[in-house]
Each structure stands twice: as C-alpha cells, then as structure tokens.
Amino acid sequence: MNPETAQVTHDFPPFFRVYDNGQIANTKNTILCPHLLTPKPASNPETSIYLPKTTAAGGKLPLIIYIHGGAFSIQSAFSSLYHYYINELASESGSIVVSIEYRLAPEHPILAFYYDSYAAIKWVDSHSRAGQGPDQWINEYADFERVYVAGDSAGANISHNMVIRGGFGFKFSGLILIHPFFGIGNPDKVWDFICPDTIGSHDLRLNPTADLDRLSKLGCERVLVCVAGNDNLRERGWNYYQKLKNTDWKGVVEFFETHGEVHVFHLFDLECENSTSLLKRIVNFIRG
C-alpha cells in the first residue's frame, strides 16, 4: 500500500493515530534531552537518575521512584518536559530520584508499560540489600526506609499498580498520585484500543476502586492524591481518595486540589504560583 494514500483508521488526539497500512504516528512530539540518552548496560532498565546538589557526607536521602505520564502512549523519562520537572523535585525535596522509562502503546505489547515499570523497580530494589546494586548513586545515597513512588496521569496509574502488586524487598513509605488517570467512569477509547484484551473500564488496573478489598491491601503507609479542578479526571481522583479513606487500609491518605487548573498544568509552567504550591505540597508529604 502506498503510504501517501494510507487512511486513518483510529485517531486519538493529541496522542496518536493509526493508519490502515499499520503505521502509527504520534500526534504530539516529545522533545528529548540528548545528554540523557547515554548507553546503559543491557541488564539495566532505562532510567534517568537525579541527585540534589547538596548531599551530606555519608548521609542517606529519601528515594523517589518517578513514573512519567502521557496516556501510556507519549512522553519519556528523557524528555525535556520531565527532565526540568524532576530536577525541581529532586532539588526541592532533597531526594534522589529514579525516573523510569517504559515502552509505549500501541507500538509495543499490551501492558508493556506495567511490565517495564515493575522490572525497573525490581532493579532499584537490587540496591536495597547491603548497597550492592549496580548504580553507585543509589548505593551511596538512597535510604530504603524512605522510598516513595510518584507519577502523574498514566504514570500515577502505573504507580498505584506497582504498590498494589508489591513483591519488593523494601516497603513503600508513600504513594504520590498527581492527576491520576483512572478513567472517567465511561468506556475509555484509548484504554480500550491499547488494552483490548482487558475488561475495559471495569478493569482493576484502570479502575482500582471497583474492588475495595483489594484496594485496602495497598502496600504503603501514606498516600497523597493531587487533582486539578478543571481536569475531567478530577472526579476519579477524588473517588479514589474517598474510597481508600473508608476501607480497612491502615494508612493515611491526603488530598490536595489545585482549583482552576487543567490536567498536568504544572509540567508546562514550573514557576507559576499554582505549580509552586503543588510542588511544595508534594515536598511536605515526602518530608513527613
């Protein structure tokens, strides 16, 4: 088939479109930071690691595992958008941050984003046993008594699912969900297309409050749910907070809303007042 005459069969703006010749085109460009794209050993997952400028000699720092958003289909741990944000997060919180890269849908196998994120956290976990992991920074600085997993949008969804799955040598101190993507309560066209073998909007990975007994087994001590007032995903974030608070889970869940803002607004203007307030709230949560 002539690629110039290919017809669009599925269109999911602003993420990707699919053509009848099998071609997939991202409709929103991701600008990568070339200096982050350094070759890594084949045994290591793709990660970008950040260390604050001031570190006490021999001191341990909170460890944040960060999972980027982008509807499971765009963006990267190596994009300029996330690079600048994670720099701010590491600096302001005084934490070492491991930002995870994962294969994107729909080019890659269904649910690869969960498999890759789990493998990356297991790799981080390999440093928790007497500091014998392959990365020097994690060995030297990461405090495995203070491990947080955080993400925005699709990354928040993945973060929740990593804590639910568990199986790590450390216990998460906290889960930070920033504008989490848990669907909108109706069939979700993007999810249904990239995950056709799941049960759609009732799938527990997309809608974790559908099984409160399972939700009550969340493997962390504290949760922070952050939403934006003008985000169509806001209600699912609020619902997650309310349902978790009323389960038998023994932890503490907190809620923070930025009124008048849209989905992941903070990534596009780090210096505006609302972005600063959101980052401050996250930092305070990490500091406990």
Closest C-alpha among 172, 220, 46 to residue 120: 46
Cβ atoms of residues 177 and 228 within 8 Å: no
What is the residue-wise DSSP string for 152-205?
Answer: ETHHHHHHHHHHHH---SS-EEEEEEES-----SS--HHHHHH-TTS-GGG-TT
Residue 113, classed as helix, strand or coil, is helix
Query: Which single residue is written with the structure tokens 């596009």?
Result: 268
**231 an active-site residue?**
yes
Catalytic residue among 116, 152, 188, 231: 231
| Catalytic status, residue 68 | no
The residue from 76, 99, 153, 173 that is catalytic is 153
Burial class (CB in 10 A: 0-12, 13-18, 19+), 257: middle
- In the residue annotation, 269 being an active-site residue is answered as no
Cα–Cα dist 180/183, whole Å: 9
Task: Choose among 109, 36, 94: nearest CA to 68.
Answer: 36
Which one of 68, 127, 263, 266 is the catalytic residue? 263
Active-site residue numbers?
153, 231, 263
